[in-house]
Amino acid sequence: MELMISFALSTLRHRKAGFAGAFVALLCAAALVTACGLLLETGLRGGAAPERYAGAPVIVAGDQFVRRTVRDDDGEVKTKAKALSERRWIPASVAAELARTPGVERVVPEVTFPVGAALGHGWESAALTPFTLASGRAPKADDEVVVDARYEGRALTVGSRRYRVVGVTAQALPSQDTVFFSTREARRLAGRPGQVSAIGVFPAVDVAVKGAVAYTGDERGTVEFLGAEQARVMLISLGGALGGTSLLVAILVVVGTFALSVQQRQRELALLRAVAATPRQIRKLLGGEALLISLAAGVPGSLAGILLGFWLRSRFVALGAMPDNLGLVVSPFPVVAALLATVAAAWAAARVTARRTARIRPVEALGEAAMERPKLPWGRLLAGVLALAGGVVLTIVLSNLNTEAASSPVTMLTALVWTIAVALLGPALARLVMALPVRAPGAGGYLAAANLRANTARMAAVITPLSLMVAMTCTILFVQTTMGQAAADQAATGIRADHVLGPGAPAAVRTVPGVRATTDVLRTSVRIDLERYAAQAVTPEGLDQTMDLGVRAGSLQGFGERSVAVSSTAAERLGVTVGSALTLTLGDGTPASLRVAAVYARGLAFGDLTLHHALVAGHVDDPRGTLLVAGGDRAALERAAGGAPVEYPAEITMSNAAVNYVAMGLIVAFCAIAVVNTLAMSTAGRARELTLLRLVGTTRRQVLRMLRVETATAVLVAVALGTGVSLVTLSAFSRGMTGSALPSVPPLTYLVVVAVAAALALAATALPARLVLRRRPDGAIGARE
């Protein structure tokens, strides 16, 4: 073994260029897997540091989870929990109960509510940070406020009421602007009589109150930043799905890279067999090379993955998908896991690609190296057929999935399995293509056609990363456009209102001359059996003049606080019809028992459920919603509203589109690197062939034309295959999510994808070819391959 490792090290030293491609592929794979592991670990173990509650050792607040006790198949009782989307408030009387607890010296109740882009509180809760006054005094009257150090101005307007700034704090929180009101005014503006959002307890003592939870340490940040828990769930889901997809893509790319490397070394390996090297020794040699390359690439790649993880976190923070104070958890586990995965993938790839070369008999070795095998090995053919069958099964499954959580990972997996089938059956597909009677004119075209027919395995190795890049890019991009277009179409058809006003529209707009009807709309989410459903709450008066949900069954006439309308997709999932009872949990954990009044079609634009505004308004953190207005003059509405009407924010089911673009874009970038890597390796490995062509009289221009024709052919085949894979996947996805098998594919975007793939392929071929052709033909023929 030591001898073969030494031999492998020697071959690496003398064939640096040949192994550079494998090194790059493994380095990128290690970085990608490490970054995904960091996201996953942050979701599992991360915590948000408190800001507003940093000065209170204990925060008592509502349980921010909805829980359900279930019994599994083994009879074991378990409790499952899911995060609430809104803040659960607790009775104000809990403060008095806490004050009587032994060891408690002081309790500070807190209310939190939106004030424009800031958060409002009562001045009594300033000690929770703590906030101190830099100038002025505390608010005493109901029309007085204290603002934080970032605020500029002497007055503040909330709705139609104007407040005087009587004090400025010495502090300002990093991620939130703060406004303090008098205690009585804060309780009025919060709109939750007899309730508080949290209670600070001093000093740090153990407290227990029925119906509330005590939070300490970073748990205080979780209750302060409700988005932190949702971000952790997102990171777990995204990190797991992205990590799994990345690993599969990495294995596919690394196997292709090693296959090309071994193919280029057929003569060398055949010569070793001819001089009595055993199959076991050949396998050890290639395994040793893979081990050395993977370690050399995996260590810096894993460390680079840490930097990539920090970059991903910064993008997610910028997109608002996670709070800034949810720090990235960095530990050795993702780094070690990525390194082990990289080594295992490289070793397995090398052993798989070496099986045929190692098994041939010594007397056949040189002949096998000179001629391409006319048929696929039975093992590869069987694996390709199984991959095709897997692609068909996943496509059928995907066409029946109608939720984002279920369809997103299956969509990527479906595209990947189809691409694996293409990779396994690549040589057969290449031979099929080259059997077509098509040939480019001129000597370069003739040589290209001859080369492609004689070496379909090399063409297949080039097609695989190209088709993977096109398939993954189109799938990632057009999943979002398909959902976005479907939601936009439903919103355009379903909104009958002439004007749409943003949050906080004053009551004066309802009395503008010509206004026939107005509808208040709130967006929230609810839980049914722990599953999350997007919901809207509306005022039913005049709803038929402002909104058309596309009711298929039932009616919205007489729609009351105990009524619910359900989208057809949600009704199918829940198994309910008109008249069915439906029990759900509102965003803040409040249970509600309702009756299904109608089933409607336009769930992508208007949410899975439609509830009565009065039922929901008191159970959301921000009761300001959108106002739909039928009739009225635009200019008059602008004057009454103090601002211009805004576009209706149709809720799209794929709500994390930007996050998905950033995350999955890394896989696309990896595929692009694999394309450049493979083509550069393929061209550089043909130095002897290109030099020989120059020696027999072929001009430099003809050689370059030959390579361009070969690359163009590979691009056309790869684009056709990648497009076919993505269309099959997208059609299944669209069928399940929108009911239509026709995905939305913007032609210009698709042409850009194709143009980028072609440009990368041509550049990756032309640059190494020009370097090879710079050598003198008579001096380069004896150079190493």
Structure tokens at 33: 């897997």
**Which pLDDT tens digit goes with each residue over 689-740?**
777 777 777 778 887 888 888 888 888 888 999 999 999 999 999 999 888 8
Specify whether the CB–CB gap between 398 and 729 falls below 8 A. yes
Q: Is the pLDDT at 368 greater than 70, yes or no?
A: no
Compute φ and ψ for 345, nearest 5 degrees. Answer: -65, -40
Specify whether the CB–CB gap between 226 and 588 falls below 8 A. no
DSSP annotation of 117? T
Distance between CA 662 and CA 658 in Å, rounded?
6
The reported pLDDT for the residue numbered 537 is: 95
Share of the chain above pLDDT 90, in %: 35
The reported pLDDT for the residue numbered 651 is: 44
Whether this model's pTM surpasses 0.85: no
| Helical pair 16-45 and 657-684, crossing angle rounded to 10 deg | 160
Burial class (CB in 10 A: 0-12, 13-18, 19+), 252: buried
In sequence order, what DSSP letters do the residues of 653-717 get, joined into one string?
SSTTHHHHHHHHHHHHHHHHHHHHHHHHHHHHTTHHHHHHHHHTT--HHHHHHHHHHHHHHHHHH
Return the residue matching tokens 């069958």: 389
Confidence band, pLDDT 50/70/90 cuts, at residue 27: confident
Mean pLDDT value across residues 749-757? 92
* Integer CA distances (angstroms), 416 to 338, 405, 413, 566, 567, in order: 20, 18, 5, 35, 32
CA 642 to chain CA centroid, nearest Å? 38
Residue 371, C-beta contacts closer than 8 angstroms, at least 6 positions apart? none
Q: Is the pLDDT at 166 greater than 60, yes or no?
A: yes
Structure tokens at 427: 């040589």
Structure tokens at 195: 């309730």
Mean pLDDT value across residues 236-245? 80
Q: Is the pLDDT at 654 greater than 50, yes or no?
A: no
Residue 502, C-beta contacts closer than 8 angstroms, at least 6 positions apart? 626, 643, 645, 646
Higher pLDDT, 140 or 440: 140
The reported pLDDT for the residue numbered 732 is: 94
Mean pLDDT value across residues 729-752? 92
**Which pLDDT tens digit goes with each residue over 598-634?**
999 999 889 999 999 999 999 998 888 888 989 888 8
Distance between CA 742 and CA 733 in Å, rounded?
10
Mean pLDDT value across residues 575-588? 94
Distance between CA 210 and CA 269 in Å, rounded?
74
Confidence band, pLDDT 50/70/90 cuts, at residue 171: very high
**Which pLDDT tens digit goes with each residue over 473-483?**
899 889 988 98
Higher pLDDT, 418 or 635: 418
355: left (phi over 0), alpha (psi -120 to 50) or beta: alpha
Distance between CA 375 and CA 176 in Å, rounded?
66
The reported pLDDT for the residue numbered 599 is: 96
Question: For the chain, how are helix, strand and coil distributed in percent, rounded to 5?
Answer: 55, 15, 25
Mean pLDDT value across residues 60-76? 82
Sequence spans of domains, the chain: 1-48+225-371, 58-216, 375-489+656-785, 499-641
Confidence band, pLDDT 50/70/90 cuts, at residue 650: very low
Mean pLDDT value across residues 565-592? 94
* Residue count (the chain): 785
Distance between CA 83 and CA 60 in Å, rounded?
17
Q: Output the average pLDDT for the chain.
A: 83
Which run of H or of E encompasses 735?
A: helix 700-738
The reported pLDDT for the residue numbered 381 is: 84
Q: Is the pLDDT at 653 greater than 50, yes or no?
A: no
Distance between CA 62 and CA 210 in Å, rounded?
10
